Chains A and B, each alone.
Chain A
Amino acid sequence: MIALDPRGEERSTRARLEGRTTLVQSFATPTLWVAILFAALLFAMPHTGPVFHWAFPAVEPPVYQRDSFVALFLSHAGIVAVASFAATVIGIAAAVFVTRAAGRDFRGIVDALATIGQTFPPAAVLALAVPALGFGPRPTVVALFLYGLLPIVENAVAGLETVPASVRDAAAGMGMSACQILARVELPLAAPVILAGIRVSVTIGIGTATIGSTVGALTLGTPIFDGIGGNKMPFVLQGAVLVALFAIVTDLIFARLEDRLRPPSAR
């Protein structure tokens, strides 16, 4: 009889999910394998000369050499991290503001600004930002920040709005302050949706950061643009494969985080 009880079944599934992930289980995830593959390629790329030489005999040298791929990755990741962190902080703050009584009137303006940020081509932002910020990573950070704001703001607003009115009413009625309601009830309940927004923003940002190489930012896009300029296909391939793997690994890590943050009723 117990086996037929759907609630009982649900409980046992939950118990399994809540149990500590064992070492074996974490090795069994695709996230780890893709991450290992990415790291291996990052370090092994300089030694793949013979392969690329065989495929593209006309290109010399067959592997991009001006910077180490590890250094390119670290610089790339740093640019995305700074831009995404700023977009997350400001995006969530804006979403919190427009979902309060005091900020409700600004909802339209914030939506419009975030949409403009997303629709304005990042390449144009770069061109406009260079005179003010000079060559280097800074214009790229600005372009990525603007580009990444919309998914974060939109998801954070949507997440905060899905908190049931009755839950907020009960929280206020029991004497929680506005800050306590936000920190203990609204943000935790909205967290999975907010995180989904950050995930989209960061993943897009990793791909988009490559164009920063056109204004002097060091990224995994640097070999790509070098290859395009010098007609060296292997460079384009080397950069593109690493950028794609970087984005996939990041996306998978966010997916796991989302699973952890999901409310117990949805697990």
Chain B
Amino acid sequence: MIEIDGVTKLYNGRPVVDDLTLTVPAGAFCVLLGPSGCGKSTTLRMINRLIAADRGTIRVNGEDVAGLPVAALRRRIGYAIQSTGLFPHWRVEHNIATVPRLLDWPRSRIRDRVTELLELFRLDPETYRRKYPHELSGGEQQRVGVARALAADPDLLLMDEPFAAVDPITRDALQAELARIHRDTGKTIVFVTHDIDEALRLATDIAILDHGGLAQFAPPLELLENPASDFVREFVGTQGIGLKLLSVRKVSERMREGETADGEAIPAGATLRDALSEMTARRASTLPVADETGRVVGAISLGDLVR
């Protein structure tokens, strides 16, 4: 759990973060969202004290970060950034092992952990561990960057626009992987982005920041349905709001159990937006729905989307 309590950061006397109070529950995927200059990155970097807060306190799992030794604090918080910051003179395995090495883990444990992480990101360990960062594609570099952040198994992961610099297809794949890892590990993630669609896709909670203050803190659906202010309404975007609403709801919420339909089934975990897209593409108004095992468990029709 992260408690940000009345935190202010001034640059040249002007507040970039202004009396911000925000509590991120343990296990949440909290996205800090806002236009550039809203203080989202500064807020993130105050959590691991890359930037010192001028006023207020930040507590991680109940402990005031200002009272902890800074190196120890950072070694137990994962950190991933947009341009990856991979060390160009170190091989992939050495890069991933950065924090375990700082923590003096035994060699065999480091080796096993690197293998485990490469597998988690579906990078073949024997092919990738000996490569240098420049030998990887942008998406692979970003995977290694996130793997490095997870290396010492931190409870908390800070990510500053990690997928902003990769192409849309790679970004889509990376988002899916991160969502999977969040689901499987239950880590608390604080994620900075200015991309509303990325936020809606990944977040359990979204904090919209405006001029260093909190404009709204809510789960994605509530943010879309009940924007707290005109700023939030505008930022979320009135255009395509219907599609955004469909994108935060799952097929499983609307399907009719026991019914069935013709054609290939879509997964119950897919979004309603995926369902609409499939219906349009197949010119079918009803689709069968399958559970994780692939068994057809129900059906969803066009009318269910707008229920």
Contacts of B48 in A (CB 8 A): 173
B125-170: which have CB < 8 Å to A? 132-135, 145, 148-149, 158
Q: Which residue of chain A lies nearest to B158 when distances are taken between CB atoms in the complex?
A: A173
B50 touches which of A166, A173, A263 (Cβ 8 Å)? A173
Q: Is A172 a contact partner of B81 (Cβ separation < 8 A)?
A: no
Q: Is B88 a contact partner of A173 (Cβ separation < 8 A)?
A: no
Knowing that A170-B86, A173-B81 are A-B contacts, what are 9 other residue pairs whose CB atoms are under 8 Å apart, sorted by A's residue number?
A: A7-B135, A166-B81, A166-B84, A167-B86, A169-B85, A170-B87, A172-B50, A175-B75, A185-B87
CA distance A177 to B72 in the complex (A): 10
- Interface assignment of A176: CB less than 8 Å from any CB of chain B: yes
Contacts of A45 in B (CB 8 A): none
CA distance A185 to B98 in the complex (A): 11
Q: Check A174/B81 contact, CB under 8 A, given A185-B87, A189-B88, A264-B89.
A: no
A1-49: which have CB < 8 Å to B? 7, 10-11
- Interface assignment of A188: CB less than 8 Å from any CB of chain B: yes
Q: Is A11 a contact partner of B79 (Cβ separation < 8 A)?
A: no
Total interface residues in chain A, CB < 8 Å: 23
Contacts of B204 in A (CB 8 A): none
Q: Is B135 a contact partner of A166 (Cβ separation < 8 A)?
A: no
A238 to chain B, nearest CB (A): 45
- Interface assignment of B16: CB less than 8 Å from any CB of chain A: no
Sampled A-B contacts (19; CB under 8 Å)? A166-B84, A167-B85, A169-B81, A170-B87, A170-B145, A171-B87, A171-B98, A172-B50, A172-B74, A173-B79, A174-B98, A174-B148, A175-B99, A177-B71, A188-B89, A264-B134, A265-B88, A265-B132, A265-B134
B105 to chain A, nearest CB (A): 14
Contacts of A11 in B (CB 8 A): 135
Q: Is B102 a contact partner of A175 (Cβ separation < 8 A)?
A: yes
B42 to chain A, nearest CB (A): 13
CA distance A238 to B81 in the complex (A): 61
Q: Is B85 a contact partner of A264 (Cβ separation < 8 A)?
A: no
Contacts of A131 in B (CB 8 A): none
Chain B 58-84 interface 0/1 with A at a Cβ cutoff of 8 Å (1 = within): 000000000000111111000101111
Q: Is A173 a contact partner of B74 (Cβ separation < 8 A)?
A: yes
Contacts of A7 in B (CB 8 A): 135
Contacts of B74 in A (CB 8 A): 172-175
Contacts of B79 in A (CB 8 A): 170, 173-174
Contacts of B50 in A (CB 8 A): 169, 172-173
CA distance A168 to B134 in the complex (A): 17
Q: Is A166 a contact partner of B134 (Cβ separation < 8 A)?
A: no
Q: 5 closest A-B pairs (Cβ-Cβ)?
A: A170-B85, A175-B74, A175-B75, A173-B79, A265-B134
- Interface assignment of A164: CB less than 8 Å from any CB of chain B: yes
CA distance A138 to B89 in the complex (A): 40
Q: Is B83 a contact partner of A166 (Cβ separation < 8 A)?
A: yes
Q: Check A263/B81 contact, CB under 8 A, given A173-B50, A174-B74, A175-B73.
A: no
Contacts of A231 in B (CB 8 A): none
- Interface assignment of A119: CB less than 8 Å from any CB of chain B: no
Contacts of A68 in B (CB 8 A): none
B154 to chain A, nearest CB (A): 10
CA distance A265 to B136 in the complex (A): 11
A171 touches which of B85, B89, B134 (Cβ 8 Å)? B85
